Amino acid sequence: MKSASEKNLFHEQEFSIHKAVLDQSTEGFSLLDPSGRYVGVNQAFCELTGYSESELLSMNIIDLVPPDRSLKLFPKLVEGNSGEQRIEILRKDGTRIYAQVKGSSIKYGDQTYILGIMSDITPQFEAEGNYMLSEKKYRTLFDSAPDPIVIHDGKTILDLNKATLSALSLTHKEQMIGQHPFALLHPDDREMARQRMQQLIKKREPLPPTEIRLVLKNNDERTVLASPIPIEFGNQLAVMVYYHDITKRKTTSDELKSSKEFAENIMETANAVVVAFNAEARVTTFNKYAEKLTGYSKAEVIGKNWFELFIPKRDMKAMPLLFSDVLKQMPESSQNENHIRLKGGEERLISWSNNVILASSGEAQGVLSVGIDITERKQAEEALKLSEEHYRSVVQDQTEYIMRYLPDGSITFVNDSFCRAFNTTPEQAVGKNITHKNLDSEVERITRKIEALSLGNPIITDEHISITPSGEKVWHLWIDRGIFDENGILKEIQAVGRDITSRKQMEESLHSSSTQLQEAQRLAKMGPYSLDITTGMWISSPVLSDIFGIDEDYVCNIEGWLNLIYPEDLDETRDYFQTCVSEKRSHFDTEYRIVRNSDNSERWVHGIGEFIFNTEGNPIKMIGMIQDITERKLADEEREKALVDARTANEVKDQFIANISHEIRTPLNSILGFSDILNMRYSDSLQKRDENIFDYINSASKRLMRTVDSILNISQLEAGTIKVYPKTIDLVSIAIFVIEELRPIAEEKGLKIHLSTAFKEAKVFADEYCIHQVLTNLIENAIKFTPEGSIEIDITQRQDQIALSVTDSGIGISEDYQERIFEPYTQESEGFTKIFQGVGLGMALTKRFADLNHVEIKLKSEGGVGTTFTLIFPPQKGTPHV
């Protein structure tokens, strides 16, 4: 505590939980250091003393003690005792108040402080004093004649009554009180009065009346009969003198009565319990406040035993003893606290001031007690003590690190948890600077933090990495709270820290996964949205806003969405959406074009959404994604175009091949026709070596034709444009036709070709052209790859299947090539070295034509031995095959 005198400790955090109690209490709370300096005051204390908070915090307790009084309670409190006392306070305006003060010492930090709780008992005090006085006066006057009365101690006038005032033509007692009692006496009578006074003090009994002359201010001289009576007045022996104006005798009974009423009135209206008991502890007086507090009426209480009625059972033994002690010892005034039981059963704690009422004989006649309800005060006091303890345990038992430091960085407090975390002890840490390397190395950051603290911004939170003594990196969260004095000057900082490493790691992983998600959305150009169908408002996302080219000012309602749609796609998209809503569909899925708001570019988007329905089944919400598919759409378009191009190219190619076929066949028509005619007319006249010329022309021309046909066929087969017209056909006659067609070629090579079948007809269901092509290819192939020997064609029936096989005695087909034989444009030997003619289409065509007619082809081949191709035709249901 650097300069505690300027700071109100009650503003500190640990008192703040009881701030309400402190602020609202009508009792003055004050905290003093052992030197008597005020370090904490509440508002009520300021009001009681008349000083401001800042004035009090620079004052000492002694400043509030009237010059004629001295400090009694405070030194005891400093010694560690607690106690209570009735004191007088000198207010700022010079007036005095009577206060009941209870004090105790408390520990705060390393320091001991004195906590004082003060209540103003001035009205009570006055009531009490007046009552006692008037009781005595009353009793005395009752015994003596009712005339002007003056009480004095032989030196000064202590009191006087109204009769005196009126007799002296005065208006205020103060004009007389404090003056010498003999001042008004005629100078010749003064010595006599002095002697009678000494006599009275000596005898301590009333003297017989004597005539005395008074001189009034107007020099009017009066002769009165004076009857002095010795009395106890404020713990001192005094003389009450009863005067009887012989000239103007009048009764003072009325005055006396009013005097009594005045006293009783004060008693009744006092803001304190006023109770009087006789020696048997029976209640003789019970004021209005007491009625209000206890719930008993005066009538219910008067004459009853106080203990039986008000004292809780647990105190029934102690209280009567205390009462009898009070009576016996007859102290001027004594204090005690005890609980009283109210009519409703509730208990209140009352602080009493007890005064013994003396009989004129000097014996104790009873007790007058004035009490203040201190239940709430006591509770506040307890709570305050409790809060202190609580604070201490909270601070020390915290798993959070707690540290206090001054604005210059020097540490004033650390808790156990802090010590554990930073491997230090309070002894090591306190006094060190917060920037000490073991605690935190970031001097600049701490400095900035301290600078940033202000009354308007008293709390600063920051997260940073700290290195633990073991070298581990940990995340700490620190909440630094600035503690300020009333001038707004930063006095101290309380820092509460916590290890948030695991939270931080989680945050980081969450952040990275959410970043990844957003990054993925960005890459996919896929922006989520959520539409409230009831309001028509939708919430965009960063990626969607990017796709639409809209910013946060864009009005995201249905109209706003429709405005983005490319005009040509607007009607269809809007109708689709409205249909989805009206038909209560669950999905929305469509593609449409938009005009990007930011750059007016045309973009394709794919919008998908899921509808959410209320309990009535009406769609209320739609959530989904909108993806920018412009690139995909462009690629689609290009692919579509490429496909069209390819198809066109294919068609052009097919047409071209068809044209080639047509253009080759057309001239061949006349070439073959004329050569045939020549052959018929002139073959007989040709020389031996020339007789085959026409066959050569015929054969060569037909090969040319078949090549063109093959190319045309494969092209049509691969494009799928060829059409088949299956019907029941006779396999035998087709086989004979093909064999006869090819026989010249076979015989030219010296090969025998032979059809062997048991049937005259073999009916199959297939396309004639296709089967013709298949047989032509198979037999032509057999001829081609058979250097010598024969070609056998067999037509057989196995169960209900007709099979046709073409067997040659040729070179055979390697196993490797058997796998590829039906692929187009292949031959077993390729390139310039290839041995055989042809474009390599024959087997591919055969396979495809066979497939088109559901005809199975089997291949069996052995190198050097020969090859057999077998065609297996599907069964022809219901029709006889042969």
Partner 1 sequence: MSEKSKKILIVEDDISSQQYYSFIFSEKYEIRMVSTITEAKKALEEESFGIALIDFSLPGGENGLDLIKFLRQEYPEGDPVAIALTAHVFPQNQVEALEAGAAEFLTKPIMSRVLLDIIAKYI
Quick one: which of 142, 674, 696, 737 contacts partner 1 (CB under 8 A)?
674
* Residue list 704-763, contact with partner 1 (CB under 8 A): 705, 709, 712, 716, 722-725
Q: Quick one: which of 666, 733, 756, 814 contacts partner 1 (CB under 8 A)?
A: 666
Q: Is 671 in the site for partner 1 (CB under 8 A)?
A: yes
Alpha helices in 689-810 (DSSP H): 693-719, 731-748, 768-784
Q: What's the distance, CA 544 to chain centroid?
A: 28
Amino acid at site 513: S
Closer to partner 1 at the Cβ: 491 or 848? 848
Rounded least distance, CB 755 to partner 1, Å = 22
Segment lying near partner 1 (by CB under 8 A), choices 128-136, 376-384, 566-574, 671-679: 671-679
Q: Does 517 bind partner 1 (CB under 8 A)?
A: no
Distance of CA 321 to the CA centre of its chain: 62
Q: Which two tokens mark 260? A: 């009594």
Closest contact distance (angstroms) between CB of 525 and partner 1 is: 49
Under rule CB under 8 A, residue 765 binds partner 1? no
Q: Which of 14, 33, 291, 767 binds partner 1 (CB under 8 A)?
A: 767
Nearest CB to partner 1, comparing residues 353 and 701? 701
Kind and range of the H or E run holding 589: strand 587-595
Q: Does 836 bind partner 1 (CB under 8 A)?
A: no
Point out which span in 638-646, 672-680, 790-798, 828-836 binds partner 1 (CB under 8 A): 672-680
Segment contacting partner 1 (CB under 8 A): 131-139, 661-669, 795-803, 836-844?
661-669
In angstroms, what is the minimal distance from the CB of 781 to partner 1? 21
In this complex, which beta carbon is closest to partner 1, that of residue 127 or of residue 712?
A: 712
CB of residue 772 vs partner 1: minimum separation in angstroms?
10
Give the phi and the psi of residue 485 in degrees, each rounded to 5: -85, 180
Phi, psi dihedrals of residue 515, rounded to the nearest 5°: -65, -40
Which residues partner with 467 through β-bridges? 473
Which CB sits closer to partner 1, 76 or 665? 665
Binds partner 1 (CB under 8 A): choice among 487, 669, 814, 879: 669
Q: Which of 445, 647, 662, 858 binds partner 1 (CB under 8 A)?
A: 662
Is there binding between residue 841 and partner 1 (CB under 8 A)? no
Backbone torsions φ then ψ of 809, nearest 5 degrees: -110, 40
Given a contact cutoff of 8 angstroms between Cβ atoms, the answer to whether 528 and 541 are in contact is yes
- Report if residue 651 touches partner 1, rule: CB under 8 A: no
* Beta carbon nearer to partner 1, 768 or 794: 768
CB of residue 672 to partner 1, shortest distance in Å = 4
Q: Nearest distance from residue 627's CB to partner 1, in Å?
A: 46
Q: Applying CB under 8 A, which part among 514-522, 598-606, 624-632, 676-684 lies near partner 1?
A: 676-684
Nearest to 174 by CA among 186, 183, 165: 165
Q: Which is nearer to partner 1, 49 or 773 (CB)?
A: 773
State the minimum distance, in angstroms, from the CB of residue 655 to partner 1: 12
Considering the complex, state which of residue 237 and residue 719 has its C-beta at the smaller distance from partner 1: 719
CA-to-CA distance for 828 and 820, rounded, in angstroms?
Answer: 9
Burial 212-238 (b: 16+ CB within 10 A, else e): bebeeeeeeebebbbbbbbbebeeeeb
Residue of 817, 847, 818 lying closest to 717 (CA atoms): 847
Query: Which position has the token pair 């008192």?
Result: 15
Q: Which residues of 646-662 are buried (b: 16+ CB within 10 A; e: fewer)?
A: eeeeeeeebeebeeebe
Q: How far is the CB of 751 from partner 1 (least distance, A)?
A: 24
Separation between Cα atoms, residue 769 and residue 712, nearest integer Å? 14
Q: Which of 673, 744, 787, 863 binds partner 1 (CB under 8 A)?
A: 673
Residues 416 and 429 sit within 8 Å (Cβ to Cβ) = no
Q: How far is CA 363 from CA 240, 327, 328, 356, in A?
A: 19, 9, 10, 9
Q: What is the amino acid identity at position 232?
A: E
Q: Check binding of 777 to partner 1 (CB under 8 A).
A: no
b/e map 403-421, b = 16+ CB within 10 Å: bbbbeebbbbbbbbbbbeb
- What CA–CA distance (Å, rounded) separates 496 from 824? 85
Shortest spacing between CB 568 and partner 1, in angstroms: 39
Question: Nearest distance from residue 724's CB to partner 1, in Å?
Answer: 7
Q: What is the rounded CA–CA span in Å between residue 316 and residue 141? A: 39
Instruction: Choose the stretch contacting partner 1; rule: CB under 8 A; options: 133-141, 372-380, 664-672, 786-794.
Output: 664-672
Residue 672 in contact with partner 1, rule: CB under 8 A: yes
569 sits near partner 1 (criterion: CB under 8 A): no
The span from the CA of 243 to the CA of 249, in Å, is 10
Residue 484, helix vs strand vs coil: strand
**Beta strands of 596-686 (E only): which ranges?**
602-613, 619-628
**Is 724 or 882 the residue whose CB approaches partner 1 more closely?**
724
Site of interaction with partner 1 (CB under 8 A): 658, 661-663, 665-674, 676-677, 680, 701, 705, 709, 712, 716, 722-725, 767-770
